[in-house]
């Protein structure tokens, strides 16, 4: 072994290793890259990730009481978060706007007349009551017996108004809604009024009232013995043609409203009504 024996030995070992690696490489078959398989595998992995993300988003949205869908990306790859739908709050009606229903219509002395029911929701606090009183004044209405806004809190209110040719003639019903929302079964809250208050010696031909939904027939009687019967209108029946004696539902009211009109040419000083038929079992 010469002075450079170590270097010669190392060189031989390196050559041997190189030969072995070359022989091993010759034994390996190199094929085409499986591009399609790699792409499909990547798509499956992305689909699984999106599915999990969407499920998690729906669970979070459901626990918050809102409906949401999983977000996506915009054209530049930025994450886009969809807006959630705000939950609907219960009893969201406005107390400064009444619910209005025309419950009767007819013609008297060549003029069209309409009976209108206005129902106001119950204010929940003094602030809402103050706003409601202001709105009522805009309708030329003042709730009877209410001296301060606090007196109106928690009370629903209704009015009956008579209109002729679109102009207000009189407000003849003005009262808080009864506890439970309707008069007791078999009872009537009613008022007789003049169809034409400006006519000299006008008779009280019109009777308007409220009854529980169980009432199937109301009989109106005037002081001279004239009787008129009103029955519930067929569901979905609107105000068509001339006047009909009917019992009708009113928007915002649990009670039904009825109207009766006495024949023309009679001088009626007063009129009253009572329920003469109710639903079975009530």
What pLDDT sits at residue 269? 87
The pLDDT assigned to 191 comes to: 86
In three-state secondary structure terms, 257 is strand
DSSP 172: E
Please answer whether residues 148 and 129 qualify as being in contact, where contact means their C-beta atoms are separated by less than 8 angstroms: no
How far CA 150 is from CA of 63, 89, 96, 158, in Å, comes to 38, 25, 15, 18
pLDDT of residue 248: 95
Q: Indicate whether 2 pLDDT > 50.
A: no
- The residue with greater pLDDT, 59 or 190, is 190
pLDDT band at 202 (very low <50, low <70, confident <90, very high): confident
How does pLDDT run across 116-142, given as a tens digit for each residue? 999 999 999 999 999 999 999 999 999
DSSP-based three-state secondary structure for 75? coil
CA distance 257 to 160: 10
Q: Report residue 53 as tokens.
A: 């993300």
Averaged pLDDT for residues 243-270: 90
Q: Rounded CA gap, 164 and 256, in Å?
A: 23
Whole-Å CA distances, 22 to 19, 28, 86, 233: 5, 10, 70, 102
The model carries a pTM of 0.66
Task: Return the biggest CA–CA distance within the chain.
Answer: 151
The pLDDT tens digits for 72-96 are 444 444 444 443 433 433 344 579 9
């Amino acid at each position: 072994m010469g002075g450079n024996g170590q270097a010669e030995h190392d060189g031989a070992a390196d050559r041997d290793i190189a030969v072995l690696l070359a022989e091993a490489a010759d034994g390996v078959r190199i094929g085409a890259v499986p591009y399609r398989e790699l792409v499909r595998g990547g798509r499956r992995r992305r689909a699984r990730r999106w599915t999990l993300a969407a499920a998690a988003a729906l669970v979070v949205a459901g626990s918050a009481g809102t409906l949401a869908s999983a977000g996506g990306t915009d054209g530049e790859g930025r994450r886009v978060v969809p807006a959630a739908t705000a939950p609907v709050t219960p009893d969201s009606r406005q107390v400064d706007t009444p619910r209005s229903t025309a419950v009767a219509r007819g013609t008297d002395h060549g003029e069209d007349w309409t009976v209108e029911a206005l129902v106001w929701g119950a204010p929940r606090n003094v602030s809402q009551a103050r706003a409601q009183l202001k709105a009522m004044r805009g309708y030329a209405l003042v709730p009877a017996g209410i001296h301060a806004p606090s007196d109106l809190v928690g009370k629903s209110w209704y009015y009956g108004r008579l209109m002729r040719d679109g102009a207000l003639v009189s407000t003849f019903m003005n009262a808080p809604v009864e506890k439970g929302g309707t008069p007791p079964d078999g009872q009537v809250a009613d008022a007789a009024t003049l169809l034409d208050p400006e006519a000299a010696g006008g008779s009280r031909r019109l009777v308007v009232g409220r009854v529980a939904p169980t009432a199937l027939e109301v009989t109106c009687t005037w002081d001279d013995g004239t009787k008129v019967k009103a029955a519930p209108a067929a569901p979905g029946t609107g105000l068509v043609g001339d006047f009909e004696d009917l019992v009708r539902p009113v928007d915002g009211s649990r009670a039904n409203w009825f109207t009766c009109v006495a024949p023309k040419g009679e001088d009626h000083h007063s009129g009253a009504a009572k329920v003469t038929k109710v639903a079975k079992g009530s």
